[in-house]
């Protein structure tokens, strides 16, 4: 896949994740505040916070990908890992907080591993810049 296509995908995903994070945080603060326990609300807010962090990280990866020539593979893997990790990590936290289905908490670390892989690939990309 060309770096231009990946850049567009990553920027679009970052914008979507960022916007949904703001909407989700506002929804939790207003509509869910009296519907969820403090623990469940905290879990939901953690999902929204990590979603925003990784929306910004994904945007950064997209901008680097558009400029880098040598580190595109690491940046591409980082971007896909951030997308996958955000969906699994934040998505499982949202579902856990809204449904209280306990086994969903077992999925969350898989998303965390994907996010860590993304950060690791971003670090590796730094060493291949020229």
Domain membership of residue 31 (yes or no) is yes
Domain membership of residue 104 (yes or no) is yes
Domain membership of residue 50 (yes or no) is yes
| Confidence at residue 70, expressed as pLDDT on a 0 to 100 scale | 73
Average pLDDT over residues 94-99: 95
| Confidence at residue 68, expressed as pLDDT on a 0 to 100 scale | 78
| Structural domain containing residue 85 | 3-124
Q: Are 58 and 83 in contact, with CB atoms under 8 Å apart?
A: yes
For residue 13, what are its two tokens?
């995903």
Domain membership of residue 97 (yes or no) is yes
CA distance linking residue 120 with residue 72, whole number of Å: 14
**Total domains, the chain:** 1
| Confidence at residue 3, expressed as pLDDT on a 0 to 100 scale | 86
CA distance linking residue 113 with residue 121, whole number of Å: 12
Note the pLDDT tens digit of each residue in 5-51. Answer: 999 999 999 999 999 999 999 998 898 888 999 999 999 999 999 99
Domain membership of residue 103 (yes or no) is yes
Domain membership of residue 130 (yes or no) is no
Note the pLDDT tens digit of each residue in 46-89. Answer: 999 999 999 999 999 999 998 877 779 999 999 999 999 999 99
| Confidence at residue 66, expressed as pLDDT on a 0 to 100 scale | 84
In this prediction the pTM is 0.94
């Amino acid at each position: 896949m060309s770096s231009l296509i990946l850049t567009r995908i990553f920027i679009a995903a970052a914008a979507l994740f960022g916007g949904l994070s703001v909407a989700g945080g506002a929804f939790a603060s207003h509509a869910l505040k009296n519907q969820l326990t403090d623990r469940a609300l905290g879990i939901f807010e953690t999902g929204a916070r990590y979603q925003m962090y990784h929306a910004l990280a994904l945007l950064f990866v997209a901008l680097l990908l558009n400029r880098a020539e040598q580190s595109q593979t690491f940046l591409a893997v980082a971007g896909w890992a951030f997308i996958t990790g955000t969906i699994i990590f934040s998505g499982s936290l949202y579902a856990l907080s809204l449904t209280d289905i306990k086994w969903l908490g077992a999925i969350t670390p898989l998303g965390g591993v994907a996010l860590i892989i993304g950060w690791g690939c971003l670090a590796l990309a730094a060493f291949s810049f020229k």
